[in-house]
Amino acid sequence: MTAFTVRVQREDFDLAAEVTALCRGRTDIGAVVTFSGLCRDEAGALAALELEHYPGMAETEISRICREAVARFHLQAATAIHRFGRIEPGENIVLVIAASPHRQAAFDGANFIMDFLKTSAPFWKKEHRADGSAGEWVSAKDADDAARERW
């Protein structure tokens, strides 16, 4: 049985609880790889990030990405959770979990999901500066596009 879970939510998530839920009752999983992305303070310059998304479209795109990863890497299960709203330094932004019988498929699946999520899912980030000055919308990074291109 292969399954994936996708959630876009304002609330925080618990990484350990998500891994437990993904693996519960599954004896076909031999490897679980997780990636959790956190908000940085950018050397004290950032008070928070404001994440916006396109409701419905974000979930659809992340589901498409997970479906492709499950098929391509023969994953037993996957989870992708992305938060929106105001997120302060040290708080969770994103979680990707990939589970498979063997480690390499789990590593590849998690990397694939994250690389495509960063470049394809409709999210926008605005900085809130610690000094109170107007923050900027965060631009896409060439490095993220390059990471996606390797697949």
Q: Which pLDDT score, from 0 to 100, does residue 2 have?
A: 63
Of 140, 139, 37, the residue nearest 89 (C-alpha): 37
Average pLDDT, the chain: 96
Note the pLDDT of residue 145. Answer: 87
The CATH number linked to 75 is: 3.90.1170.40
Q: Tokens 């990397």 sit at which residue?
A: 111
* H helix intervals, the chain: 15-23, 57-73, 103-120, 142-149
pTM of the model: 0.94
Range of the domain at 91: 3-149
Torsion of CA 32, 56, 126, 45, to 10 degrees: -20
Domain count along the chain: 1
CA–CA dist 63, 5 (Å, integer): 8
- Residue 27 C-alpha from the chain's centroid: 25
Mean predicted confidence (pLDDT) in 16-38: 97
pLDDT for the residue numbered 147: 87
Q: What are 18's two structure tokens?
A: 């998500």
pLDDT tens digits along 39-97? 999 999 999 999 999 999 999 999 999 999 999 999 999 999 999 999 999 999 999 99
Report which DSSP code applies to 137: B
